Amino acid sequence: MATSVKSLAPRGYGLLVFDGYRPWSVTKAFWDSATQGQRDIGFVANPAEGSKHNRGCAVDLTLCELGTGAEVTMPSSYDEFSDRAFPAYQGGSPESRTMRHLLRSAMEAQGFTVLNEEWWHFDYKDWREYGILNIPFEAIKR
């Protein structure tokens, strides 16, 4: 049975969000500063197609310990552009792979899918229903 996000707390874990909505202009800036290798592997979204982050339908996150707020250890660090970032990477400690699997199970139970190149990146199932936005953060009302 898939682990739901709500079931993380009794296990002593919560979610630590790194990134969510991202204006299209930020995606363009990332693309312009990326190496060709980072683009080819898929670590950077092509602004010509937009990003799921630009639609408000992607989130970058990890697990944290509820008692301390400390990030758990994963097979790679966040935004690490290496093979260790791939969700299917078999290296790292058994504990780090267990934590990566726990995060993935919790997110998939809520309708998200993991990106093949980044264990921390999850796309919402209905992302195609939303358009690309370029609203700057300072223009977003709380």
CATH value at residue 21:
3.30.1380.10
Tell me if 87 is assigned to some domain. yes
What's this model's pTM, rounded to 2 decimal places? 0.88
List the catalytic residue out of 49, 118, 129, 138.
Answer: 118
What is the pLDDT averaged over residues 52-80? 96
- pLDDT tens digit string along 81-133? 899 999 999 999 999 999 999 999 999 999 999 999 999 999 999 999 999 99
To the query of whether residue 71 is one of the catalytic residues in this protein, the response is no
**17, 61 in Cβ contact below 8 A?**
yes
Tell me if 139 is assigned to some domain. no
Tell me if 96 is assigned to some domain. yes
What range defines the domain where residue 89 resides? 5-132
Tell me if 77 is assigned to some domain. yes
Counted domains in the chain: 1
